[in-house]
Amino acid sequence: MTVAAVVPGSFDPITMGHLDIIDRVAARFDRVVVAVLENPRKEGLFTVEERIGLIEAVTGGHDNVEVDRFQGLLVDFCATRGIDVIVKGLRAVSDFEYEVQMAQMNQRMGGVETLFLSTSPEHSFLSSSLIKEIARWEGPVTGTVPPAVEAALRAKYGPARETSGA
């Protein structure tokens, strides 16, 4: 039996934390779909096309990972794409309440189970929003995102400031 998993998110942009989860899911499932939410109410820094391009660039080493986009309910995307489980990364207790609520709702609506992976400790403080804020003020983001994403952030915001001793 082939088991397919979806790793959904905004990915604006993909971080090392996301990539760590995708790598670990790809090692355990036959097929992995990284699904980028198209949210008409929330304009991102990167267009959906740019986000997909960056995700494809940094997950290209996996034969079983594909990248797609979706609108509307995740359970509907799962039904149309033959996806069995949703996989999410949990960084901290603060993620837990909302993530469990969504998992229970998705289970109720579509019978789709959610599995949680704990984020690797070295990535537990990362978020796309914080990284964008740091990059916007030309602070250091090296190591928090893959190099291709760092280059894309620098193309949007300009080079990082020179830091002394960091």
Query: Which of 37, 141 has the CB closer to ligand PNS?
Result: 37
Can 127 be counted among the known catalytic residues?
Answer: no
Token pair of 163, please?
């830091």
Do the Cβ atoms of 132 and 45 come closer than 8 Å? yes
Can 18 be counted among the known catalytic residues?
Answer: yes
Closest contact distance (angstroms) between CB of 156 and ligand PNS is: 19
Find tokens 């082939």 and name the residue: 2
The 10 Å CB-count burial string (b at 16+, else e) for 94-103 is ebeeebeeeb
Rounded Cα distance between 73 and 26, Å, is 23
Name residue 8's beta-bridge partners.
Answer: 35
Rounded Cα distance between 41 and 45, Å, is 13
Could you tell me which stretch among 3-11, 55-63, 113-121, 140-148 binds ligand PNS (CB under 6 A)?
3-11
Neighbours of 48 (CB within 10 A): 18
Which residue from 15, 106, 114, 144 is in contact with ligand PNS, where contact means CB under 6 A? 106
Rounded Cα distance between 65 and 43, Å, is 26
Closest contact distance (angstroms) between CB of 98 and ligand PNS is: 9
Closest contact distance (angstroms) between CB of 102 and ligand PNS is: 4
By the rule CB under 6 A, 74 interacts with ligand PNS = yes
Query: Which of 120, 138 has the CB closer to ligand PNS?
Result: 120
Can 156 be counted among the known catalytic residues?
Answer: no
Closest contact distance (angstroms) between CB of 146 and ligand PNS is: 17
Q: Which residues bind to ligand PNS, rule: CB under 6 A?
A: 8-10, 37, 73-74, 102, 105-106
Please identify every residue annotated as catalytic: 18, 42, 91, 128
